[in-house]
Amino acid sequence: MTTATTSRAARFGAYVPALLLLGVFFAGPLLWSVYSAFTNVALTGSSTIDFVGLANFRTMLHDSQFWNSLWLTLVFVVGSAVIGQNTLGLLIALLLKGRGKAARAMVSGLVVAAWTVPETVAGFCWYSFLHQEGTLNTILHRVGLSQNWLYTTPMLAVILANVWRGTAFSMLVYQAALNDVPPELHEAAAVDGATAWQRLRRVTLPLIRRSIVTNLMLITLQTLAAFGLIYVMTKGGPGNKSSTTPIYMYQESFQFYKLGYGTAMALVLLVIGAIFSLIYVRLIKVDDL
């Protein structure tokens, strides 16, 4: 055996533990989920699992609750990630640029503190804040505007909670991107008579476009699978008014024991996430042309 062959074998051996871990904790569960989506596996204690082909997916096509959950998931992703976290994170990063260290540290610390709060704790905090007898209604009662926000506007409630908790990530991404924008370009644009809005639209945003697309991809995928915050605040209710696809998957799998049907929905959600990723990756490649 040559020295080169021995070296390649040694390098391959170094990767074996990592490959085993990926197989056990990533590829294994993924393959099991794909298999389960085509079976009638259920959490009923039965040891009999039958292959049912596309039956779960045909059921999905005629399941109005599933389509409603997909629509609510889209509303949640667009409202809390694409519009909420992305826009607010960029706005905070722009407002903090050029400010004093004390102001940047205080504002960034407050925003990041919300991000560090565990999802379940954040859900309970917002539940108590928006509850019919919560803090917000205590304040609004004085002007006659109190109501049961978790009942009348459940999707708005969970969107606001997710924006509050997740904006810090977008802010940090944009702070790093804005630091890489050469100040000379802004100075030259200002000399040419460009307003602040024109400098933002024609100088800043084009230069940080890759960061915008990357941030959108990451927060979209994260929000697409959001579960804990919504479950703690509304459990998908009232009725199914805030039952996004992850919530509906949980209900079908662990409350009605239809694990095969739940994993089929998970597979559809995985495909939707892959489609979003491909769109964002395509946007990044177009930027490189």
For the chain, the domains span 59-288
Q: How far, CA to CA in Å, does 179 sit from each of 7, 11, 176, 183, 208?
A: 43, 39, 5, 9, 10
Across 133-142, average pLDDT: 83
pLDDT tens for 70-121 read 999 999 999 999 999 999 999 999 998 878 788 888 888 889 999 988 999 9
The CATH architecture one would assign to domain 59-288 is Orthogonal Bundle (1.10)
Q: State how far the Cα of 128 lies from the Cα of 136, in Å rounded to an integer.
A: 9
pTM of the model: 0.88
Angle at which helices 119-130 and 154-179 cross, to 10°: 130
Torsional sign, CA 126, 128, 132, 135: negative
pLDDT tens for 160-208 read 999 999 999 999 999 999 988 888 887 888 888 888 888 888 888 888 9
Rg (CA), the chain: 24
Is there a cis peptide before residue 238, judged by omega within 30 degrees of 0? yes
- Token pair recorded at residue 116: 């560090």
Q: State how far the Cα of 230 lies from the Cα of 215, in Å rounded to an integer.
A: 22
- Contact between 221 and 133 (Cβ < 8 Å): no
